Structure 1
Amino acid sequence: MTKIKAVIFDCDGLLIDTETPWYLALKEIYESYQLDLPLEVYAQCIGSNFDGYDPYFSLKKQAQELVNIDETKNKARTIHKRLMKEQQLRPGVVEYLQDAKRLGLKVALASSSNREWIEEQLKAFQILSFFDSIHTGDTVERVKPFPDLYEAALRSLHVKKEEAVVFEDSLNGLKAANNAGIPCVVIPNEVTAHLPFKTHTHKLASMGDMPLESLLQKLS
């Protein structure tokens, strides 16, 4: 039986539901052009970057009129910032982070977003100090679903892949954990709840559903 020595968390959508505000912001912009942005389409870029699917490029292509992508991104950021004022940490997040420290676990964060954005969110919600290492999309060659971020986290924590557990909310994040060979607990948010998760080790509706210590005992 392998002893778990480290936990690695995604950020956007898992600790803080930033994904729903982003989707709603883009949906609002699409609707201003009398266009729809189906959730299952937008979900392609959740947890990754826009290399596979770019909602801004798609808008410009569908609108068949002049769409300034930079201006559209600024508008989306403004709407997102307004919607984020209503957001809090997801249920059970603080308890999981506190329990991880109490249990003597190493704690890392691995996100496809850039470091400036991640640190801004962690500071705003006063949880930055919980993390022993932080790995972001601007520090690796490939973001999720590639394993680079999780492999970097393992190296920084000096643990083997079987000694860690990843917590994710997106398909791209789950694929990244799978590709790194690390067990993954999926905790979807409102936007990702409908996605076809299949290769996870365990699934929870929220961290509030099961204490971290009980979950780790179950996984061990």
Structure 2
Amino acid sequence: MIQAIVFDFDGLIFDTETHEYKALQEIFTEYEAELPLDVWGKCVGTRAGTFDAYAYLEQCIGRTVDRDALVKLRREKYERLIGEEKIRDGVEDYLNAARKLGLKIGLASSSTRPWVVGHLEKLGILHYFECIHTAEDVEQVKPDPALYIKTLQCLGVKPEEAIAFEDSPNGALAAKRAGMYCVIVPNFVTETLPFHTIDIRLQSMAEIALEQLLDKIASSSET
């Protein structure tokens, strides 16, 4: 029986990932280069810095670039794009439903704590989460299962009693390695990426009520 749900953050609750990609894509376009989704997607859901976009740009155009200037430009473009972004559809409905059902609620993110907590406060949903684990809490982030294992320990539930909500292949792999059920809700950046072992795929959390989702998970575990 499901006792807890655990959320990823970037791209799942708040779609920072799409705007990060679009900011870089604008820069690449200005250099008459291209940053394919399948290239960028490999670093989504894991530690920042695993993919050097500027080195890839230099490789594409055959010359060096002013990295400091591009870092500043990328930040400016990102802030402009993210300015009107809202919490993803259905997320707060799931949080409310989980609370009413008596489920424990956690969050496991490969991003830093100030980044995650700061955004959760701005979105007005920080109070829902009983346990939050971020990059500072583990030696290895996703796709390593450590973040999920720590969050489950904090919540006091077994892996088979929890559902992870993810948007990226790296995150989904971490959840399954931890022994959890995994529901993926991809975004623009991750929807075309290859996912492997998962339990349910949704376009949005507004697609199905949490109670119905729990019934589907229960039915699948009985077969």
Matches within 5 A, 1:10-159: 10-50=8-48, 52-159=50-157
Correspondence for 1:198 among 196, 204, 207 = 196
Distance 2:134 2:61 in 1: 33
Moved more, 46-55 or 208-217: 46-55
Distance 1:98 1:68 in 2: 47
Please tell me the root mean square deviation across aligned C-alpha atoms, in Å.
1.4
Tell whether 2:178 aligns with 1:180: yes
Contact 1:45 1:54 in 2 (8 A): no
TM-score (structure 1 length as normaliser): 0.94
Contact 1:57 1:69 in 2 (8 A): no
Structure 2 stretches of 5 or more lacking a match? Answer: 219-223
Q: What is the CA deviation profile of residues 38-62 of structure 1, one whole-angstrom value per residue up to 9, with x for unaligned ones?
A: 1111101110125643223322443
SS of the equivalent of 2:108 reads strand
Moved more, 107-116 or 59-68: 59-68
TM-score (structure 2 length as normaliser): 0.93
Correspondence for 2:211 among 187, 207, 213 = 213
SS of the equivalent of 1:155 reads helix
- How many aligned residue pairs are there? 218
Query: Could you tell me which amino acid in structure 1 is paired with residue 5 of structure 2?
Result: V
SS of the equivalent of 1:56 reads helix
Deviation at 1:218, TM superposition (A): 1.4
Query: Could you tell me which amino acid in structure 1 is paired with residue 115 of structure 2?
Result: W
Deviation at 1:81, TM superposition (A): 1.1
Deviation at 1:133, TM superposition (A): 1.0
SS of the equivalent of 1:47 reads coil
Distance 1:108 1:164 in 2: 10
SS of the equivalent of 2:132 reads strand
Distance 1:72 1:143 in 2: 27
